[in-house]
Structure 1
Amino acid sequence: MSAKPFAFHLAPGGKLRWAIASLFLLAPVPNALATGIVVAPGPGGTAQLQTRDGVPIVNIVAPNGSGLSHNQFLDYNVDRQGLVLNNALQAGQSQLAGQLAANPQFQGQAASVILNEVISRNASAINGAQEIFGRGADYVLANPNGISLNGAAFINTPNASLVVGRPELNDGKLQALSTRDATGELSVRGAGLQNSEGSINLIAPRIDSDGKLGARDDLNLTVGRNSVDYASGQVRDVDPSGHSRDGRIDARLFGAMQAGRINIISTAEGA
C-alpha cells in the first residue's frame, strides 16, 4: 500500500487548519472478562459475553429498527488475542475464534452500525484485532475518557470510528459524535491501527501519535471540540474554547499514515 497525497478539508469559516468454537466449546462468562470487557445495561439491552480459546466474544444487543446496535460498557479493552463482535444470523467460521453460533440475541435482523459506548470514567486500550463476525457493519467506539491504540485492527468492518467523546442519538439513529465534554485524548503507539478492508475515522479533542495508521480507503482525522455529523462526517457546533492542547496532532503522525485518501481537520483556536 503506498501513501497517497493529503486531501485537506476547510474548517468552518473557510480557513485551512491542521493540528494535524466448536460451537459447544463456547464458555459463557459473567458480565466481565479478565481481558478488560465489562458490560453494562443499555437502552437496547445488555451485551452477552463468551470466550473461546481465550478469545472474547461479545454477543451484541439486537439492533433497533434503524439497524443500530447500541452497547454500553464500564470497561472496553482489547488485548493481543483480539475480540469478536457477533453480528451473525447463522453459524459460521470466525477468523479469530473458529466456529461460532449465531448471535442468540438477534431476531432475524443483523446490525448495520455497532455502537460501543463506555459510560464509566475508564479509558480504553485497543491492542488487538476486532472482528465483526457475520454481516459486516460499521463500528463506533465512543469513550470520552480516552483511547489508546497499539496493534489495533479491524476485520469485516467497512467503516471504523474511534471517538474520544460521546454519541448523540435521535429517534434511535446515531446522529453525531461529540468531543465537547471529553476529558481524554487519542494516542497511537507502536503498531498503531490498521483497517485493510475499509475506512478509519479518528475524532478527538487532540491526537498524540508515534505509531502507524493505515486504511484501504479513507483515513479521516478530526480534532478539536466539536460535534461531527455521523452520516456525512461534516463538523458542526464548533466550540473553539477549551484546553490549550486541544486541536493538536503530533507532527510525527504525518510520516506514518497510509490510505487511499487522507483528510485532516482541526477546529481549535490557534491550530
Structure 2
Amino acid sequence: MKQIKQSLAVLLSYTLAFMPLHAANLQTDGSTQTNLDKARNDVPVVNIANPNAIGLSHNKFKEYNVGKEGLILNNSKDTTVNTQLGGYIFGNSNLTSNAKVILNEVTSTSRSQLNGYTEVAGERSDLIIANPNGLSVNGAGFINTSNVTLTTAKPILNDGRLESLNVLGGDISIDGEGLDAMGPDSTYIYTHFLKLNAQIHAKNLEIKLGKNNIDSTTQQITASTNSNEVALLLDASALGGMYVNRISLVGTDKGLGVNLPPEVLASTGDISITNDGNIILNKISAKQNIEVKSLNS
C-alpha cells in the first residue's frame, strides 16, 4: 500500500508539473523553450526562452492572459531575484544571457485579457505582446520594462531578428481601470481598431491604426489594402482619455474616422495626429506643439 501511495504521489507531481499553470490564463504552445511556474504567493511566473544572439526571447502561447494578481516574466540568471509582485523567486534556468526584447506571441485563436501588472524580473527589457485575435485591457500596467508594444500584429522574423509587425486585423479595447503605462519609457499600440472606454496614462505614446506592416527598426508604415470591416479606427466613449507626456497617432485606412476621447493631454511634449479620414476632436492640449492633420478629401 505504501508503495502504491508513493507511486501515486510521483504521478501527481509529474502531472502537476506539466499541467498549464492557471489553465484559463496561461498555456504555452510547446514550440519554444518557455515554461511556467509560480511565486510563493501564487503569482504566475513565465520562465522565458533563452534569447538568441541579438537578445530576442521569443515565447509562443496558446493562452496568454494576465489576471489581477499580475504576471512575472523571469529574465534573471541569478539564483534568486526579488520582485515587486511575487517577492523572491528562483532565477530562470533557461537563460545563458538576459533578454533585451521579450516577444510573447499568441498562436491560437484566443483573445488575451490583460487585467493586471506585468513585471520583468531581473534585467530590464522591452516587451512585445502580439495577439492577432485581439487584446482586452482593464487595469494593465508594467514594471521594469523599457518599452512596451501591444499589438494585434503577426510578428515577422528574419534570421532571428524581428523584422516587422504585420497588422491584418484585430482590435484592442481599453476598459474599466484602463492602461497604466507610466513605467515604460515608450508605449506602442499597433492595431486595426482601438476602442477606448477608459484612460491611458503613459510617458511617450505612439498609436498606429489600420492594416499596416510596421518596420520594427524604423517604425515606418506600409499600409495594406483598405477594408470596410469597421467605420472608425478609433472610437472613444465619454469615459476615455489620454494623459501622456507626448503622443503620436497615425491612422492609415482611407476614409475611416478617428473619434478622439473627451480629453487628450500631453503634459510635457507634443501631440501629433494624422488620419486618412475624418478626425473628431474634443478637448486637446499640449505643453509644446499640436498638429492635427486629416488627409480625407
TM bracket (short chain): 0.7 to 0.9
Instruction: State yes or no: 1:166 paired with 2:154.
Output: yes
RMSD: 1.8
- Aligned residue in 2 for 1:96: 85
- Aligned residue in 1 for 2:190: 203
Task: State the distance in 2 between where 1:262 and 1:253 align.
Answer: 20
Instruction: State yes or no: 1:37 paired with 2:23.
Output: no
Following superposition, the deviation at residue 30 of structure 1 comes to 2.6
The 3 A distance-change label for structure 1 pair 39 and 239 is: same
User: In the alignment, residue 247 of structure 2 is paired with which amino acid?
Assistant: I
Q: Please, which runs of 5 or more residues in structure 1 have no aligned partner?
A: 1-26
**CA displacement 1:118-164 (0-9 Å, x = unmatched):** 00000000000000000011000111101000000000011100101
Are the counterparts in 1 of residues 33 and 50 from structure 2 also a CA contact under 8 Å?
A: no
Report 1:1-271 matches (<5 A): 30-42=19-31, 45-52=32-39, 53-90=41-78, 91-107=80-96, 109-180=97-168, 182=169, 184-198=170-184, 199-216=186-203, 218-236=204-222, 238-245=223-230, 248-252=233-237, 256-270=241-255, 271=277
The 3 A distance-change label for structure 1 pair 253 and 38 is: farther
The DSSP-based 3-state class of the residue aligned with 2:183 is coil
Are the counterparts in 2 of residues 72 and 118 from structure 1 also a CA contact under 8 Å?
A: yes
Task: State the distance in 2 between where 1:106 and 1:116 align.
Answer: 16
**CA displacement 1:204-254 (0-9 Å, x = unmatched):** 1100111111112x1111100001111222212x11422341651014489
User: In the alignment, residue 115 of structure 2 is paired with which amino acid?
Assistant: N
Tell me the number of residue pairs that the alignment of Structure 1 and Structure 2 aligns.
238
**CA displacement 1:146-202 (0-9 Å, x = unmatched):** 10000000000111001012101111011111112x3x3110001111122222111
- Greater RCO, CA 8 A, separation 6+: 1
Task: State the distance in 2 between where 1:177 and 1:220 align.
Answer: 14
User: In the alignment, residue 137 of structure 2 is paired with which amino acid?
Assistant: L
Following superposition, the deviation at residue 101 of structure 1 comes to 1.7
TM-score, normalising length from structure 1? 0.83
TM-score, normalising length from structure 2? 0.76
Task: State the distance in 2 between where 1:247 and 1:179 align.
Answer: 16
Are the counterparts in 2 of residues 47 and 58 from structure 1 also a CA contact under 8 Å?
A: yes
Greater percentage in strand: 2
Q: Please, which runs of 5 or more residues in structure 2 have no aligned partner?
A: 1-15, 256-276, 278-297
User: In the alignment, residue 245 of structure 1 is paired with which amino acid?
Assistant: V
Task: State the distance in 1 between where 2:92 and 2:238 align.
Answer: 38
Are the counterparts in 2 of residues 225 and 246 from structure 1 also a CA contact under 8 Å?
A: no
Following superposition, the deviation at residue 31 of structure 1 comes to 3.4
User: In the alignment, residue 266 of structure 1 is paired with which amino acid?
Assistant: G
Are the counterparts in 2 of residues 205 and 247 from structure 1 also a CA contact under 8 Å?
A: no
Following superposition, the deviation at residue 34 of structure 1 comes to 3.4
Task: State the distance in 1 between where 2:112 and 2:196 align.
Answer: 16
The 3 A distance-change label for structure 1 pair 188 and 255 is: closer
Task: State the distance in 1 between where 2:22 and 2:33 align.
Answer: 15
Task: State the distance in 1 between where 2:70 and 2:239 align.
Answer: 27
Task: State the distance in 2 between where 1:173 and 1:162 align.
Answer: 18
Where does structure 1 differ by over 3 angstroms across 4 or more consecutive aligned residues? 251-255
The DSSP-based 3-state class of the residue aligned with 1:197 is strand
User: In the alignment, residue 203 of structure 1 is paired with which amino acid?
Assistant: Y
